[in-house]
Amino acid sequence: MNVEATDLGHFTASGHYHCLYQGQTVAWLPMAFVHDGVPQLRIPARWCRRLWRSRSSPAGRLRRGVAGATGRLNICSKESVVRRYDHEVQAGTVVKPLTGVANDGPSDAAVVKPLPDSFAGVVVAHGICPRYSDLDTYHMTANAIDEALRNYVAVGGNVEHVAGLDNFCWCDPVQSDKTPTATTKRPSWCAPTRRSTTTAGVRRAADLGKDSMKNDYQIGDTKISIPPTLLFSVIARSMMYAAPRPWMSRVPATWFTCSA
C-alpha cells in the first residue's frame, strides 16, 4: 500500500524501558514504575437510582414525536456527510459506509482489503451512545461495547477473534468547589463487562486508548459539562470470499466476510 513503516524497537526480558538516541541512553525506566509508579486516584462515589415511568400517548402525538426525533441532527441520516467527504483510500474498502440496493443505507461496520493479492481483510466497528449516560453511565458503557460487537458480527466478524479499544471523554470526576456533583461511576463497568465478553469468546476485552477528562466549560456562573461518553472500537482480521446474491440480478457477484 506504499505506506512507510519504521521499526521503533523490540521487546526484551530486561524489565526496563530503554530508549536510545544515536546509540546513547536517554531513558532507562523500570517497567514496574511505568505501569504502577503513579499512585492511583481513589474517588468516593454515590449512585442514585433514577426512576422513569412510561407514559402512554395518543397515536398522533407519538407519530409526531417519532418524526421530530428522526429529524434531529444526532439521529437523522448521515448520508450527506458521508457523500461530502472522500472515504476511499486506494480502492481498499469492501464494505463501504453506505450499502443496500440503492447504496443509501448505513453499513454496520467497515471492511478494508489492504492487500490486492490477498483475501484477508480487516473489520473495524464502533459503538457509542452518550445520551444513555442521562440514565446510567454504567449501562451506557456496557451498551457501547455491546453495540460495537454486534456491528462487528453483522459484517461477518467472529467473536472468537477480536480486539477492543476504549476511548473515554468524561467531565471532571474530581469533586471540588467547581465540580460539586462529579461523575465517577466510569470504572465500575470493567469487571462484569470483561467477564461477559470473555464468556462470549472475546480474547481481549479492551485496551485503553486516548482518554479525555475534565471536559467542562465555565461561562459566568454556569458550568457546561459533556455527557460521560465511551467510544468502543473493535478490530479483527477476516477472510473474504466472492459469492452471488440472488436479489442483485444486475450484479453477478459481491463480497461477504468470514472472520478467520
| Tens digit of each residue's pLDDT (9 = 90 or more) over 167-216 | 888 888 776 776 665 554 444 444 444 444 443 444 444 556 567 888 88
Q: What pLDDT band is residue 123 in, cutting at 50, 70 and 90?
A: very high
Helix (H) and strand (E) counts for the chain?
5, 13
**Backbone φ/ψ region at 196: left (φ over 0), alpha (ψ -120 to 50), beta:** alpha
Q: Is the pLDDT of residue 137 over 50?
A: yes
In tens, the pLDDT along 30-86 reads 999 988 888 887 877 777 777 767 666 677 788 888 888 888 887 888 888 888 887
pLDDT (tens digit, 9 = 90+) per residue, 9-35?
998 999 999 999 999 999 999 999 988
CB 133 within 8 Å of CB 228:
yes
First to last CA, the chain: 22
Q: What contacts 64, CB < 8 A, 6 or more positions away?
A: none
> Residue 224 contacts by C-beta under 8 Å, 6 or more apart in sequence?
216, 217, 218
Most trustworthy range by pLDDT among 49-63, 105-119, 140-154, 228-242: 140-154
Residue 18: per-residue pLDDT: 95
On whether the CB atoms of residues 147 and 127 are closer than 8 A, the answer is yes
Which one-letter DSSP state was computed for residue 131? Answer: G
Residue percentage of the chain with pLDDT more than 90: 17
The pLDDT of residue 179: 65
With cut-offs at 50, 70 and 90, classify the pLDDT of residue 254.
very low
Cell of 65: 414525536
- C-alpha–C-alpha distance, residues 164 and 68, integer Å: 35
Cβ atoms of 229 and 141 within 8 Å: the answer is no
Over the chain, what is the mean pLDDT? 77
Which cell numbers hold the place of 144? 457501547
Point out the least confidently predicted range of 38-47, 71-80, 101-110, 143-152.
Answer: 38-47
> What Rg value do the Cα atoms of the chain yield, rounded?
23
Give the separation between CA 170 and CA 214, rounded to whole angstroms.
Answer: 6
Phi, then psi, of 52 in degrees rounded to 5? -120, 125
